[in-house]
Amino acid sequence: MFITILAFIFVLGILILVHELGHFIVAKMVGVKVEEFSIGFPPRIFSFKKGETKYSIGALIFGGYVKMLGEETESASPRAFNQQKPGKRFAISVAGVIMNFVLAWIILSIGLSIGMTPPVTPSDEVPFSQATKGQVYIVEFLDGSSAQKAGVKLGDQIVKLTKGTDEVTPTTPEQVTDFSGRNKGSEITIKINRNNVPVEQTILLPATEAPLGIGMVNQSIVKVKWYAAPYVALLETWGIVKVIFMFLGSFFSQLFHTGTLSDQVGGPVAIYNLSGDAARAGIGVLFQFIAMLSINLGLINILPIPALDGGRALFIILEKIFGKRILKENIENIIHNIGFAVLMLLVLAVTVKDIIRLFHK
Residue 264: count of CB within 10 angstroms of its CB? 10
When pLDDT is cut at 50, 70 and 90, the band that residue 264 belongs to is low
pLDDT of the residue at 358 = 60
Secondary structure letter of residue 207 according to DSSP: S
More confident residue, 275 or 89: 89
Active site annotation includes 20: yes
* pLDDT tens track for 282-313: 787 888 889 999 999 999 899 888 888 998 99
Mean pLDDT of the chain: 86
Cα 27 to Cα 36, 47, 53, 302: the distances in Å are 12, 20, 12, 18
H or E stretch covering 232: helix 229-258
Secondary structure letter of residue 116 according to DSSP: B
Q: Which amino acid is at 175?
A: Q
Q: Are the beta carbons of 309 and 94 closer than 8 angstroms?
A: yes
Secondary structure letter of residue 71 according to DSSP: S
- Using the predicted structure, report yes or no on whether residue 327 has a pLDDT greater than 80: no
Rounded Cα gap, residues 265 and 228, in angstroms: 34
* pLDDT tens track for 128-175: 987 777 888 888 888 888 989 888 888 889 999 999 899 999 988 899
- Using the predicted structure, report yes or no on whether residue 93 has a pLDDT greater than 80: yes
Residues linked to residue 360 through DSSP beta bridges, in sequence order: none
* pLDDT tens track for 26-47: 999 999 999 999 998 888 999 9
In the set 20, 125, 140, 167, the catalytic residue is 20
Q: Which amino acid is at 345?
A: L
